[in-house]
Amino acid sequence: MVDQFLEYVEKHQNDFIERLRKAVAIPSVSSDPNRRQDVFRMSEFLIDELKALDAINVETRDPGQQDFHGTPLPLPPIVLATVGNDPAKKTILVYGHYDVQPALMEDGWDTDPFTLVEDEQHRLLGRGSSDDKGPVLGWINVVEAHKSLGLEMPVNLKFCLEGMEESGSEGLEPIIHEEADKYFKDVDSVCISDNYWLGTTKPCLTYGLRGVSYFHLTVQGPARDLHSGVFGGTVHEPMTDLFALMSKLVTPDGKILVPGIYDQVRPLTDTEEKTYDNLAFEMHELHDAVGSAINIHDSVRHVLQHRWRHPSLSLHGVEGAFYNPGDKTVVPARVVGKFSIRTVPDMELDKVTELVTKYVNDEFKKLNSKNTMKIVCSHAGNHWLASPEHWSYVAAAKAVERVYKVKPDLTREGGSIPITLTFQDALKRNVLLLPMGRGDDGAHSINEKLDRSNYVEGTKLLGTYLYEIAAAKPE
Amino acid sequence: MVDQFLEYVEKHQNDFIERLRKAVAIPSVSSDPNRRQDVFRMSEFLIDELKALDAINVETRDPGQQDFHGTPLPLPPIVLATVGNDPAKKTILVYGHYDVQPALMEDGWDTDPFTLVEDEQHRLLGRGSSDDKGPVLGWINVVEAHKSLGLEMPVNLKFCLEGMEESGSEGLEPIIHEEADKYFKDVDSVCISDNYWLGTTKPCLTYGLRGVSYFHLTVQGPARDLHSGVFGGTVHEPMTDLFALMSKLVTPDGKILVPGIYDQVRPLTDTEEKTYDNLAFEMHELHDAVGSAINIHDSVRHVLQHRWRHPSLSLHGVEGAFYNPGDKTVVPARVVGKFSIRTVPDMELDKVTELVTKYVNDEFKKLNSKNTMKIVCSHAGNHWLASPEHWSYVAAAKAVERVYKVKPDLTREGGSIPITLTFQDALKRNVLLLPMGRGDDGAHSINEKLDRSNYVEGTKLLGTYLYEIAAAKPE
Ligand SMILES: [Zn+2]
Ligand SMILES: [Zn+2]
Ligand SMILES: [Zn+2]
Ligand SMILES: [Zn+2]
């Protein structure tokens, strides 16, 4: 049956591309209030597609309204749909998003971002092609193949598609928690296709994400901004204190100076070390992504370990100080330094906050300043680590070998994808990140693309993954 | 004759206040394009006043147009007028400005800013009352008194009044240089009333200003802003380098760490030290001005020495980093730190730039960063120091004693008043800063005021100063 499926996908690839063309043509930019109707239009497009494929219970949940800088704006619906409900089969929840990043010709696109174009290298160019319309339609292609072939689906599928992912997934989390015992009740595992291969040649399964703890360091002194001519040299200036403190957080080669911060980091075992042996990534890919050779580490192994499994600390900016071009001689009265720590297993978020708070307070005391200082953790999202031994990962790895004739890279990512944790925590189920696109797709950049082969083989992969799940021996 | 003059001023003070009321009613805000016509209206008001007093050669110079964010905006005229041209008399150039700072009721004013109101403490409240319409009208009051009394002026007066002072004196400097050998040819000394008493009780003569050298410290690494999740811990981040460098410029208690920067500072002599003995200033005035007790030094003497005659270094901000409220996890690609050094005699500006450049480069090398760093001095204005022994200062001191029955404080200021240096350099003449208002007038704040007594006694002072010049023995 899987062969019939694979053959169908191969034969109908141009139809699938037509489907993607229609989707890309809807400029569903969630961050632009003038495009909000297009986001709604995109949800209707998906609902129509799902209904045409005899999905059952195609329904929506209304997340209500968004407060857009004081103006209420309706939030696009969460689209829920079920394909098959055989209690004898596993049920896989598929998450994706149908909104996209903004895109304008003026940004430097070579072609109209909302017109799908296939170039000579068979790259399908268009906003949302890879993030995340291609993967979402990949699942729909799988369903279509089965319906057209008169084949039964190997598992039950449940869709959860949102239209606000590029704008912080506003309104989604409460609905997931609310539906955990209802719509999501029978889900056995979750699969998300919304990240990317490590490089450009080899598929991967992603099983870990770093967390992030964000800090606001406020130094306050005068009641108002001061003139540096009149007061310079006579008062403790908040900026001087702030720079003294923030310069003590991390060294130029990336070592975090907060005592104890490395104590909770899980040691690297030989087994884990081996997963870094054959990763499809080269140093020039880092240099290309960054646009210059400012790497701290000289081997792929260490670069990726520092991206995936070691904590890092970045300074982001200062609120309250002078930030425009030009020269202004102000002494800012109250400045807020912003920095964040990327966290990894087994760091505990409360402990991180405690260590940072103690250290910054200790360092501030050493300054003997008469200003006041406050450090708070404004936001903390946990790291995430799944087991690549879980049956969902095993099935996905087998599917990759079958479709791509290669063992997938086992990867993690340095950033956070909050929805991953939300599903894991709300449903208490394993989550698999199974990317369709390549590392150079340019998800949030100009000339976003999805290679034709990634779309077609990716559709095959998603379907094959479901067959491998069904074929696996019960645990 | 001076007694007749003094008596006239005393008797006609309410007329003078009416003149100030008319001037304050014209909202000549130079920074607001919608008020530009009012700035022109204010110039016409002054021209009419001067013509009515038989000033000769009341004329204007047109500084041309301003580029206001891409829109051309006509610049208000420089008003020139001569009162008397007796070659046997000294010629004193009087500078003032007829534009004002913005002011709105919403800013928190207790009364309409453009309606002069006298309160129970005899404070004349209104925008421009003290900065700088009161002092400008003070000179006109002096001329009126002489005309009304049929008295000859003791010196020749030349006026130079501009309407863009609060917006960087745009267009003025070229005209001063152009007219140096023409309109300004016979000027013997310059007098500017556009600063303030040190405190609230005692008049002062101001003979020094600090200079300012402004620096841009640029650190650049990636070709574009990076995601701290993906790249944090793997690349040299420009912000980390910038904070490391800027934290090494000055200590929290105000000591400049750039080696050699103090070497050119003129040593404090016993004579100079004595000028700090009886200054009308108390620590609580610093605390009130700052709004909190964050003073580095505990005596008035040291506070004022650090404001007036020692250099200071202030950090102003960062361009290119995150500056809004909220949390953003960006790694900025290119950041420009802004700081300035207030300079004092005998620091040479080129030497300051050289020392800063060398130090920052040396410190950057120690960081072993792969980013690139550049430090430039974007702007440098020299410090200014006049001799209080000059006949103009001697005359002003005598005038203060005559009108106020007290020896004036000899003060300097921590900030720069660029026009002072421009006149000194273009005309090669002594400049005297002879303030009319008090230290708490709130020149650029809400509820700006000029005390009635400062306006009336100040008018007496300006006239008496001219008599003392005329009475002085020739050098
Ligand atoms: Zn996405
Ligand atoms: Zn995205
Ligand atoms: Zn002024
Ligand atoms: Zn002013």
Q: Are A162 and A43 in contact (CB under 8 A)?
A: no
Residues near B430 by beta carbon (within 8 Å), at least 6 away in sequence:
B189, B190, B386, B387, B390, B392, B393, B424
- Whether residues A201 and A317 fall in one domain: no
Look at residue A404 and tell me if it is in a domain: yes
CA–CA separation, A198 vs A437, rounded Å? 10
Contacts of B289 in chain A (CB under 8 A): 230-231
CA–CA separation, A65 vs A470, rounded Å? 40
- Whether residues A406 and A324 fall in one domain: no
Q: Is the pLDDT of residue A475 over 70?
A: no
φ/ψ of residue B315, rounded to 5: -95, 130
Return the structure tokens found at B222. Answer: 């990636």
Look at residue A275 and tell me if it is in a domain: no
Task: Using the 3D structure, point to which of B381, B404, B422 is the last residue of a domain.
Answer: B381
- Whether residues A23 and A112 fall in one domain: yes
Does residue A301 sit at the B interface (CB-CB below 8 Å)?
A: no
Residues near A195 by beta carbon (within 8 Å), at least 6 away in sequence:
A206, A413, A417, A433, A435
In the residue annotation, A99 being an active-site residue is answered as yes
Contacts of B243 in chain A (CB under 8 A): 243, 246-247, 315
Cα of A43 to ligand 2 centre, how many Å? 17
Look at residue B133 and tell me if it is in a domain: yes
Q: Residue A66's beta-bridge partner residues?
A: A73
- Whether residues A10 and A156 fall in one domain: yes
- The dihedral built from the CA positions of residue A135, A139, A142 and A148, taken in this order, carries a sign that is negative
Is A131 annotated in some ligand binding site? yes
Look at residue B467 and tell me if it is in a domain: yes
Pick from A356, A103, A387: which is nearest to A214 by CA? A356
Look at residue A396 and tell me if it is in a domain: yes
Q: Is the pLDDT of residue A474 over 80?
A: no
- Whether residues B441 and B372 fall in one domain: no
- Please give the pLDDT value at position B239: 98
- Please give the pLDDT value at position A35: 97
Return the structure tokens found at B58. Answer: 């009341």
- Whether residues B341 and B404 fall in one domain: no
Q: How many domains does chain A have?
A: 2
Look at residue B301 and tell me if it is in a domain: no
- Whether residues B423 and B391 fall in one domain: yes
Task: Using the 3D structure, point to which of B381, B406, B435 is the last residue of a domain.
Answer: B381
- Please give the pLDDT value at position A256: 98
**What is each CA distance from A131 to A134, A195, A353, B23, B323, in whole angstroms?**
7, 8, 33, 63, 28
Cα of A266 to ligand 4 centre, how many Å? 61
pLDDT digits (tens, 9 = 90+) for A20-32: 999 999 999 999 9
Residues 160-219 of B with CB under 8 A from A: 210, 212, 214
Average pLDDT per run of 10 along chain B, which is 475 residues long?
A: 96 98 98 96 98 92 93 96 96 98 94 98 98 98 97 97 95 97 97 96 97 98 94 98 98 98 97 92 93 96 97 98 93 97 98 98 98 97 96 98 97 94 96 96 93 98 98 77
Tokens 């909302």, residue located: A114
- Whether residues B399 and B433 fall in one domain: yes
- Please give the pLDDT value at position A274: 93
Task: Encode A72-111: b = buried (16+ Cβ within 10 Å), e = exposed.
Answer: eeebbbbbbbbbbeeeebbbbbbbbbbbbbebeeeeebee
- Whether residues B137 and B254 fall in one domain: no
- Please give the pLDDT value at position B475: 58
Q: Helical H runs in A53-171? A: 134-149
Q: Are B336 and A330 in contact (CB under 8 A)?
A: no
- Whether residues B126 and B32 fall in one domain: yes
Q: What is the CA radius of gyration of chain B?
A: 25
Contacts of A291 in chain B (CB under 8 A): 222-224, 333
**Average pLDDT, rounded, for chain A:** 96
Look at residue A248 and tell me if it is in a domain: yes
In the residue annotation, B99 being an active-site residue is answered as yes
Across A199-283, the runs of DSSP E, i.e. the strands, are 204-209, 211-220, 226-227
For β-strands A78-83 and A156-162, DSSP reports them as antiparallel
Is B329 annotated in some ligand binding site? yes
Q: Are B431 and B190 in contact (CB under 8 A)?
A: yes
Mean pLDDT, rounded, for A308-329 = 96
CA dihedral A104, A110, A115, A120 (to 10 degrees): -160
Helix (H, G, I), strand (E, B) or coil at A402: helix
Contacts of B310 in chain A (CB under 8 A): 233
With an 8 Å Cβ cutoff, are B247 and A247 in contact? yes
Mean pLDDT, rounded, for A335-342 = 98
* Other C-beta atoms lying within 10 Å of the C-beta of residue B48: 11
Q: Could you tell me the CATH number of the domain that includes residue A67?
A: 3.40.630.10
Pick from B206, B61, B193: which is nearest to B137 by CA? B193
Across B84-170, the runs of DSSP E, i.e. the strands, are 91-97, 117-118, 123-125, 156-162
Residues near A169 by beta carbon (within 8 Å), at least 6 away in sequence:
A97, A162, A418, A419
Cα of B195 to ligand 3 centre, how many Å? 7
Task: Using the 3D structure, point to which of A340, A366, A381 is the last residue of a domain.
Answer: A381
Q: Could you tell me the CATH number of the domain that includes residue A262?
A: 3.30.70.360
Helix (H, G, I), strand (E, B) or coil at A406: coil
* A395–chain B nearest CA distance, Å: 27
Mean pLDDT, rounded, for A307-334 = 96
- Whether residues A112 and A188 fall in one domain: yes
Does residue B299 sit at the A interface (CB-CB below 8 Å)?
A: no
- Whether residues B357 and B435 fall in one domain: no
Residues 66-125 of A with CB under 8 A from B: none
- Please give the pLDDT value at position A70: 87
Ligand sitting nearest the alpha carbon of A194: 1
Is B131 annotated in some ligand binding site? yes
Look at residue B74 and tell me if it is in a domain: yes
In this prediction, residue A401 has a pLDDT band, given cuts at 50, 70 and 90, of very high
Distance between start and end Cα atoms, chain A: 23
Longest dimension (CA), chain B: 83
Measured CA angle at B64 (ends B58, B65), to 5 deg: 135
Contacts of A441 in chain B (CB under 8 A): none
* Other C-beta atoms lying within 10 Å of the C-beta of residue B170: 20
**Containing structural domain, residue B223:** 211-266+309-381
- Please give the pLDDT value at position B1: 82
Q: Are B28 and B42 in contact (CB under 8 A)?
A: yes
Active-site entry in A99, A441, A451, A468: A99
Return the structure tokens found at A345. Answer: 């297993």
Q: Residue A208's beta-bridge partner residues?
A: A385, A412
Which residue in chain B is spatially nearest to A444 when comparing CA positions? B227
CA–CA separation, B90 vs B113, rounded Å? 39
Q: What's CA B93's distance to the chain center, in Å?
A: 17
Residue B39: exposure state from Cβ atoms within 10 A (0-12, 13-18, ≥19): buried
For β-strands A65-68 and A71-74, DSSP reports them as antiparallel
Tell me which residue in A233, A310, A315 faces B306 most closely, judged by beta carbons.
A233
